[in-house]
Every structure is written in C-alpha cells, then in structure tokens.
Structure 1
Amino acid sequence: MLITSSLVSNNYFDQQREYIIQTYRDLHDLAEPSWQEEKTSRYLQERLQQAGFTVLTFAGHYGLVAEIQGETTDVVALRADMDALVQEVDGIVKANHSCGHDAHSTMVLHTAMALKDCQIRPHKTIRFIFQPAEEKGEGALQMIRDGAMDGVTMLLGVHLRPSMEVPYGKAAPVIVHGASTSIRGVILGLQAHAARPENGKNPLEAAALIIQALQGIRLQARCPFSVKITQLQGGGETSNVIPERAEFTLDLRAQTNEGMVELKEKTAHVLHTVATLTGTNVEWKYDGYVPAATVNEQMVNLAKKAISKVLGPENMADQCMTQGGEDFHFYPLEKNGLVSTMIGLGCDLKPGLHHPHMSFVLDALVYGTQILSSAVLEAAQA
C-alpha cells in the first residue's frame, strides 16, 4: 500500500503543536558549536528511539541517521543541521542558535515521528539525516564519507527565511544559495620609523590598495557576486612605527559555481598585482567553501505540490535567491544522480539570520513540519 500525505492530517499536526514547540525550545537551549553537538545529538537520538526508530551513529562526530524501511532499495532522505553559531550575545561570546538549525532539527524530528505513527511501509525507504558542522561547511562532506547518503536518490532540506525573503504563512519550493568561500592572508612588509617611510614597506597601505582594487572586479559570468574585506589587523601599540605585517580576511560570494571560479581567479590576480606594486609579500589560502545550489525542476515541482497541499497555492512563494551559503549543496554535487531541493520556510524571521537576537513565529514550525511530511511522502512514492 502506498502512503499518501492525507494519512497525516491537519488535525494531527494541530494536536502536536505544543509538543513541536517544546522540542524547539529544548534544542534552542542546547545550542552547541560545530563538531561539539553532543547533547543535541543525544536528545535527538533518545527521542527517535522512544518513537521506535533504530538510530545509526558515527565514530568521530555526532551526526546520526534513522530510517523507515521501504519496499525498494531506493532512498529518499530528509536532512537537518544541528550546530549553532559562536557569536557575541549581549557582551558574552557563546554558542547561539541564530541560524535556525534548532528549528530545522525540530521539524525533521517531528516529521520522522509523524510518519512513524502512520505505521505503513512506504514504497521507497525514507531516511532522516541529522548533520553536524554546517556552519563550518564541513558536515555534509563528512556524512557523505561516512555513507549516510548511500542509496539516496532524492534529498529534501528546509531552512527558515527572513521575512523580507519569504513572508509568514508562505513557503518557497527552492532556495537558490550562492557559492561562498573565504581567503585568509598575511601581508609581509618591512618595519621602519614613521618619519622615514622610504625605508619601509607598509603592509597596511598594501591592504588599502587591495580593498580598492577589489571594488573594480567585474565578472563575465554576469551573476550577482561580492568580494569584501571582513578582517584587517596590523601593527602593535606603537603609533610611530610602520608595521612588519598585516593579517586580513576576504569574503567571496557568487551566485553560480562558474561565477565563483572566475571571482577566485580575479581576486588572486589582485593580490599578486598589489604584492608586486608594493614590494610586499602576500601569502594567503582559502578557508572553507560551499558550492552554489543546482536547481532541479523535478524536486522543485514536488516541493510545490507539498506546499500547495498544506498552505494552498496562493501561499506559494517564488524561488528564494540568496548569496548566503549552505553546505547542503555538497550532496548533489558529490553524489552523481542525486536530485535535491531545499524548501524556504516563511516564519516572520527578524531582524535576520545570524543576528544574535534572531526570532521568528514558532507556529511556523507546525506547518513547516507538515510541508516536510507531505513532500517526503510524495517523494517516497515518486
């Protein structure tokens, strides 16, 4: 017998409202940094086991997987991320869930429990993946290496969206994230007394030239992009000495993977040219990378169908395009034949993702869970 999304009714999720919201609050309070999600993982594992799941864990990290066995070996997967940011909140640096990963884990957990309550075997196996270290852009690749994606042909994800992108009560069938990476570098100059600058090579002046030259970059790829300096440190406490070195960080973003390749080439050219012009030595390396989204129409249409069933077609938002990055997109990039989409959930999120005081309307978790349940059931019989 095939599962249909009507088996998990509106009434069911309405009854689960307080349960879902309490799960979110529990996970919010457990906020842990990338690769340190021990308590979060234990909480999710215990809840899944209580619901009757056998949970697979991994050596070396806190990711976990649970399944509802299907009639075939094909696997449909639903992925959540678990880690929190480390940021300053009211003067205190701590782990803080300001990107919504606690909400994502909540919705995927309750989707798993809702489908378990159906007690019907789906055509395809449904796998629930709880991934560590998304904020570092490393967790998806680790889950792939550990076999969490073996057999998966279709993948769904979800992410809360700011109110200016997707309004409350609506959802987008795809989030078109851009590619992003960072460059961390050091400019090595020559110390000299500030009264005799001709005897030195000023790394801070070289940094100023880099900043100015980066603003002149244009891409033939004709996609939205940005390259900007986000950190610059140089010199000591002495005000009359040209420093020997300056450290910098650049943030690079492009809406397509092809655009990112071109942006990296042109940024490297700027760094090399400035080093030559100033006589300094610029040493640098890439630090982290996530690819851009690849839109798959099959999965977008599947998500549209689920959103329409739950919220009505009038509450279908357009595709959500953002230069923000997500390591979710490593999954289809690294696994040939895998198709995927990430649903963007409108939830009146303000003032924005990664803001230390980010908040959203918690009732969105209820219809978000229902959308995921409908989408994964649809995929399991596709």
Structure 2
Amino acid sequence: MLPHTYLEQHREDIIHTYQKLHKIAEPSWQEKYTAQYLSQRLSEAGLQVRSFPGHHGFVAEIPGLSESVIALRADMDAIIQEVQGEMIANHSCGHDAHSTMVLYTALALAAYQPRFPYTLRFLFQPAEEVAGGALQMMKDGVLENVKMLFGIHLRPWMEVPYGKAAPVIIHRSSATIRGTITGRSSHAARPQEAIHPILAMTNLLHSIQKIKLEGGAFSATITQLESGNRKACNVIPESATFTLDLRADTDQMMKQLQQLIIQCIQATTLETGTFIKWRVTDYVPATIPNDYAIEIAKQSIIKVLGKRNLVPVCHSPGGEDFHFYTQQHPELIATMIGLGCDLQPGLHHPDMTFNQEALLQGAQILTALLLSSIDLMQPQPQKTIQ
C-alpha cells in the first residue's frame, strides 16, 4: 500500500491515537505507558524495536539494504503544571502530537512493500522538557550510522498559520540559573541587624537589567522567588531562592550572558554581604541550520501542502533539546519542521488546543520527507544559514 493512501485511510485513527496519548500525559523520565503503547503498535506492524535500560526512550527500525540510517525523532514527555488549581502532567507542548505523527509515518512506511535502500530509524525520546532526553539517547547510541535526522513541532498560530509549514525552526539557546541567597535573619523591627536576602535579590535584578550584548536578542527573566515564612510576617528571612530564565539567539551569546550574570552575582555578594550559591541547569543549544536538509524539507512541504503554504522559516523564542543532536554531531544533515495547526493560546499554556486535522498533514509531510531523503541522500558538505 502506498504510504499516502495508508495515511488517508487512517485519518480518524490518527486523531484517536493522539487523543489516547493526550490522556496518558506522563512527565519527563516517567513515560512508561506512553512508550509501551507506541512500541507495541510498532512491534505489531513488524518494526524492530529496541529499548534501553534506565529510561523509557526507544527506537524502532525498518531495516534497509544499507546500514546507513535516515532518522526521525519524536518527544514523548508532558509538562508538570497547574491546571485548574491542580498540579498535573499536561500535554501543553504537543509532544503527544509529535509522537502520533512519527508513529503513523513509521506505520505508513512499514506498510509499503519495497525494501528501502537505507535503514529508517524512529527515535522516541524521553525528557525533552528537562533538556536531558536527547543527551541520554545519544549516550545509548541512537545516532549510530545516522546520516540524516528530522523532527517536527507544532507551532502557535501567530508563527505558522494552519495549513502551512516551515522547513526549519530557528530556536534560541536557553538555560536556567537556580540560586539561593543566604543572609542573616532578624526581627522586622530591627532591620539594621539583618542581612536582607530579598533586598540582595533586588540589587541582583537591577544589575542584570543593565547587561548589554551585541549580535542578537537575549533575555534574563526572573520566574521564581521564594523567601520567608507566611506565618511569621514580622521576621526578615535568612534566605531566598530564585530562578532565572535565560534566552539568547546564539550559543556564543548564551555563554557571554551567563558570564555576565555570574559577575553580577559576585558583585552582589560583595555589596550586600550575602552568600549566593547558584547552578546552571536545563541548557539547550540554539538551532544550527543546515540548508541541504532545509531544502529537502521545503520540497516535501510543497509536495503535500503546495508552494503557497510554505513558510520559509519559523523563528521561535523557545528552546529545543533536538539541537543537542546537531551540536554534538555537526556532520548530521538535520532540520526540524514547524507545523501550522491553529495552536492557541500558545505552547505551555495549560489550556493549549490545536486543530487536530493538522496531524494528518504533519504525517504526510514527514512521510514525503523520508521518501525524498531516501532518493536524495548523498554525501553533502554542511552549510549553515545565518
């Protein structure tokens, strides 16, 4: 059966599968039932499935005539966030949609009769939201013999409209700084006896706001600040914990931003007499665009949606751990497709919704992309676009 025909015949099944995965919604490193469901579907279709110790990520393969591999990646984890007053795992970033589209791409190609000249590998990755899944999958050897790697991500309506798609998402580098400021507690009536951690945090934020960098856009935003005892409102607390969200257009800018913030932290400790303990977490690199991969993705989008529905590039203020693959393996021909789906109000919003009919379009684009890659895969020099 032709892959396009298979997908059309399974339109309703694609949506049903997405809805099933949406209800499971498991957080990072806990994607047990999501992985079980997906791997079982793939095994039943005849794909070779391989899991790994210590986590729920796995790969499924359609063996080809060559050991060279074309790979397609999906993320599986949900976000822990507050929904209607309750902290739960919630699929507000679309990873359930990504898993659905990659699953049906694999099923459609497995139902296709010819033996492919290259091996097709489907990566189902855990823990994207905590920026650890891609790194772990690489430790497990999932990129062995991989020459091309592709991914897909739902896009908000204002970035890519419904019925359109972009052959590349330009993500920014992102990181988190988590810290604790320790001062000295005192009665609120005698503030002169205290070393006030909240005032020290105010000083730190003022100095961070003065940072200037050239070469692109960046941000350093405080997202969490906790201090004190709610039952003792007349006590200056001893400590305060904080979280800073960092964004930068390039990896180099991210390094510079972190260095300048560390200088601000050191200056704050000297000015205020506090002790600040900090660490950088959740780092993900910026996109490394590959124009050969982008061209293949572009032609696949045009084939499915038509030229007028091609968005040349999608610029996103967010980050993605997909880019660890290309950062650590710059020889990879790789790109991530941005799929328009009328996603509203936005990614990570607890009430995020999108037009589920876009799932079929995404699977069709991915299927066309892999088939085109099989035809076009030749040793190519990597080029980057700015």
TM bucket, shorter chain: over 0.9
Mapping of 1:1-382 within 5 angstroms?
7-9=2-4, 11-220=5-214, 222-236=215-229, 237-382=231-376
> Aligned pair count?
375
- Residue 240 of structure 1 and its aligned partner are, at CA, apart by 2.4
**For 1:170-207, what per-residue CA distance to the aligned partner results, in whole angstroms no more than 9, with x for missing partners?**
00000111111111111111112223222221110011
The residue type paired with residue 20 of structure 1 is: I
**Matched-pair contact (CA < 8 Å) for 2:48–2:62:** no
**Matched-pair contact (CA < 8 Å) for 2:57–2:137:** yes
- Residue 336 of structure 1 and its aligned partner are, at CA, apart by 4.2
The residue type paired with residue 115 of structure 1 is: L
The residue type paired with residue 185 of structure 2 is: Q
| Residues in 2 aligned to 1:239 and 1:37: alpha-carbon distance in whole angstroms | 42
**Matched-pair contact (CA < 8 Å) for 1:177–1:325:** yes
| Residues in 2 aligned to 1:224 and 1:153: alpha-carbon distance in whole angstroms | 32
The residue type paired with residue 81 of structure 1 is: D
**Matched-pair contact (CA < 8 Å) for 1:85–1:98:** yes
**For 1:315-361, what per-residue CA distance to the aligned partner results, in whole angstroms no more than 9, with x for missing partners?**
00131111211110001111241121000000000001011111100
| Residues in 2 aligned to 1:313 and 1:126: alpha-carbon distance in whole angstroms | 27
**Matched-pair contact (CA < 8 Å) for 1:21–1:365:** yes
| Residues in 2 aligned to 1:48 and 1:239: alpha-carbon distance in whole angstroms | 58
The residue type paired with residue 223 of structure 1 is: G
User: Bigger CA drift: 261-270 or 66-75?
Assistant: 66-75
- Residue 274 of structure 1 and its aligned partner are, at CA, apart by 1.1
- Residue 241 of structure 1 and its aligned partner are, at CA, apart by 2.2
- Residue 209 of structure 1 and its aligned partner are, at CA, apart by 1.1
TM-score, normalisation: structure 1: 0.96
**For 1:200-259, what per-residue CA distance to the aligned partner results, in whole angstroms no more than 9, with x for missing partners?**
211100111112221111112x21111011111112232222211111111111111011
User: Bigger CA drift: 233-242 or 24-33?
Assistant: 233-242
| Residues in 2 aligned to 1:174 and 1:93: alpha-carbon distance in whole angstroms | 33
Per the alignment, in what secondary structure is the counterpart of residue 150 of structure 1? coil
**Matched-pair contact (CA < 8 Å) for 2:7–2:104:** no
The residue type paired with residue 310 of structure 2 is: M
RMSD: 1.2
| Residues in 2 aligned to 1:78 and 1:135: alpha-carbon distance in whole angstroms | 18
The residue type paired with residue 8 of structure 1 is: P
Per the alignment, in what secondary structure is the counterpart of residue 338 of structure 2? strand
The residue type paired with residue 51 of structure 2 is: T
Per the alignment, in what secondary structure is the counterpart of residue 365 of structure 1? helix
- Residue 71 of structure 1 and its aligned partner are, at CA, apart by 2.0
Gaps of 5+ in 1: 1-5
The residue type paired with residue 251 of structure 2 is: N
The answer for the alignment partner of 1:3 in structure 2 is none
Per the alignment, in what secondary structure is the counterpart of residue 67 of structure 2? coil
TM-score, normalisation: structure 2: 0.95
The residue type paired with residue 220 of structure 2 is: V
**Matched-pair contact (CA < 8 Å) for 1:176–1:292:** yes
- Residue 7 of structure 1 and its aligned partner are, at CA, apart by 4.3
**Matched-pair contact (CA < 8 Å) for 1:122–1:381:** no
| Residues in 1 aligned to 2:48 and 2:8: alpha-carbon distance in whole angstroms | 27
**Matched-pair contact (CA < 8 Å) for 1:124–1:381:** no
The residue type paired with residue 370 of structure 2 is: V
| Residues in 1 aligned to 2:210 and 2:310: alpha-carbon distance in whole angstroms | 39
Q: Percent of aligned positions with the same letter in both sequences? A: 52
